[in-house]
Amino acid sequence: MSSTALPGGTWTLGDLTVSRFGYGAMQLAGPWVMGPPADRDGAVAVLRAAVELGITHIDTADAYGPRITNQLIREALHPYPADLHIATKVGATRDEQGGWPPARDPQSLRRAVHDNLDSLGLDALDVVNLRLGDAEGPRPGSLAEALGTLAELRQQGLIRHLGVSNATPEQVEEALTITPIVCVQNLYNLAHRHDDDLIDRLAGRGIAYVPFFPLGGFTPLQSSALSGVAARLGTTPMSVALAWLLHRSPNILLIPGTSATAHLRENAAGAGLRLSDDDLAELDEIGR
């Protein structure tokens, strides 16, 4: 399958063409995203299968593991195919309990960019998302100093494109007064629809919206309406949830995570499911 044959076709992040069906590598790091990985060879196999399927957008962060997910990506795929684009995140670190304390002072951000370059084996990072808020979600507050630091690193050629993650709509607006951004990566899925307006506004500006936890993350999506639609269409709730996101807006890019090659293939096929207007209306009610 090529990236143009994957469900959803392609999207352009700045000057980078990516498959709308991408891959989120976070869970490869191991239980609760702290190493060691449950199955190292299996993780390498999933990453290689993703590229073989035509996926050209992989989402990661040096905080995953920490470092382990990036090391796996490098081991599996370096030297990278020219059309593969890796998006990473900075702005959070890890503590010994597996927590995600913020690290958004200029020095920590510079170190994080260099750590990502080092662990991925790159001279420049394709996309860097500034992760805001905390593990509970977005928090209000200015991002000027943090994003300004990353914009400087972009000027120096270490970063190609910037995005924000775990951001409030106000922070997205503030970001756009500081530097161009190509994507917003926030929690969104069939059951969590708080960013509906933001998605539509970003679509009008040609900015991608990349939902994290598209399948519910650590708590799989559960809904009788979702299961009902899936049963009627003879497929799985995961396929319906991914297909719904692709139908929801053309600027939505998928980064579902999995540590199983079989699930990766199932998701790539399932996301191409055609949903009728009646299906979409029924699914729309879930998060209302």
Ligand X SMILES: NC(=O)c1ccc[n+]([C@@H]2O[C@H](COP(=O)([O-])OP(=O)(O)OC[C@H]3O[C@@H](n4cnc5c(N)ncnc54)[C@H](OP(=O)(O)O)[C@@H]3O)[C@@H](O)[C@H]2O)c1
Interface ranges with ligand X (CB under 6 A): 24-27, 59, 89, 131, 165-166, 185, 212-217, 220, 238, 255-260, 263, 266-267
Q: Which residue in 23, 64, 80, 188 is the catalytic one?
A: 64
Q: Whose Cβ is closer to ligand X: residue 3's or residue 258's?
A: 258
Please name the residues in contact with 191: beta carbons below 8 A apart, sequence gap of 6 or more.
Answer: 216, 221, 223, 286, 287
Question: Could you tell me the smallest distance in angstroms from the CB atom of residue 131 to ligand X?
Answer: 5
* CB-based closest residue to ligand X: 257
Residue whose structure tokens are 């899925």: 189
Q: Whose Cβ is closer to ligand X: residue 136's or residue 277's?
A: 136
Peptide bond between residue 37 and the one before it cis (omega within 30 degrees of 0):
no
Tokens found for residue 186: 């926030």
Question: Could you tell me the smallest distance in angstroms from the CB atom of residue 277 to ligand X?
Answer: 26
Peptide bond between residue 79 and the one before it cis (omega within 30 degrees of 0):
yes
Q: Determine the 3-state secondary structure of 251 from DSSP.
A: coil
Q: Whose Cβ is closer to ligand X: residue 31's or residue 278's?
A: 31
Please name the residues in contact with 148: beta carbons below 8 A apart, sequence gap of 6 or more.
Answer: 178, 179
Answer yes or no: 188 catalytic.
no
Question: Could you tell me the smallest distance in angstroms from the CB atom of residue 116 to ligand X?
Answer: 13
Tokens found for residue 261: 């090659």
Phi-psi region of 12 (alpha: psi -120 to 50; beta: other; left: phi over 0): beta
Q: Whose Cβ is closer to ligand X: residue 271's or residue 278's?
A: 271
Question: Please, which residues bridge with residue 59 across strands?
Answer: 24, 87
Tell me which residues are annotated as active site. Answer: 64
